[in-house]
Structure 1
Amino acid sequence: MAAQHEITQRDLRSRSKEIMDAVQGGQSFTVTRDGHQIGELIPLRRRRRFVPRGEFAAMSRTAPGISLDAFRTDQSATAEQETDDPYAR
């Protein structure tokens, strides 16, 4: 993890674009007011959208087994079963 830099509230106000660009680039800051730490600016962790095939296969090998019958029973018990189709004419 990158070192966290300390900035004052005044720095944040006057250099907000520069600081936000740094946060977007992965840098973290501790914000101070009157010499006291009051908060942190940290980049959001980005979620991966793609998992490589080999990684998915490795995770799948250690996943617990699933009973298809138990899954369907649970699904039927929790899903609302509507017989009327509001879009049927």
Structure 2
Amino acid sequence: MTEQISQRELRNDSGRIMRALDEGRTFIVSRNGHPVGELRPLRRQRFIAAQAAVEIFRHAPSLDWSAVRDDIDEYVDQDIEPRG
């Protein structure tokens, strides 16, 4: 949900607003009761540690690479002749 804040609140309560932005909240900033802008969090790329990724996939089922290759060969034309 978007919260409307005044220009004065933005100036006087910037710490709370910045923490709320970190949490993903969005604000409409108003001046004299009229909306003039929007504050919203930037999208951040989230990375995980390599060890955490290994742990996530440790119990995943193994792949039959021969079956994967057969599926690819069935649906994808991999002929080396140029298309003309």
TM-score using structure 1 length: 0.51
Alignment-derived partner of residue 6 in structure 1: 4
Give ranges in structure 1 of 5+ residues lacking alignment: 55-60, 66-89
Alignment-derived partner of residue 40 in structure 2: 42
Question: Which secondary structure does the structure 2 equivalent of 1:30 belong to?
Answer: strand
Q: Give the CA deviation at 1:48.
A: 3.5
Q: How is 1:26-65 mapped onto 2 (pairs within 5 angstroms)?
A: 26-49=24-47
Superposed CA RMSD in Å reads: 2.8
Give ranges in structure 2 of 5+ residues lacking alignment: 61-71, 78-84
* Separation (CA, whole Å) in 2 of partners of 1:26 and 1:19: 11
Q: Give the CA deviation at 1:36.
A: 0.9
Q: Which runs of 4+ in 1 moved over 6 A?
A: none
Q: How is 1:65-80 mapped onto 2 (pairs within 5 angstroms)?
A: none
Deviations 1:29-78 (A, max 9, x none): 0000011111111011112446x779xxxxxx8xxx9xxxxxxxxxxxxx
Q: Give the CA deviation at 1:15.
A: 0.3
Q: How is 1:78-89 mapped onto 2 (pairs within 5 angstroms)?
A: none
1:20 to 5, 18, 23: 18
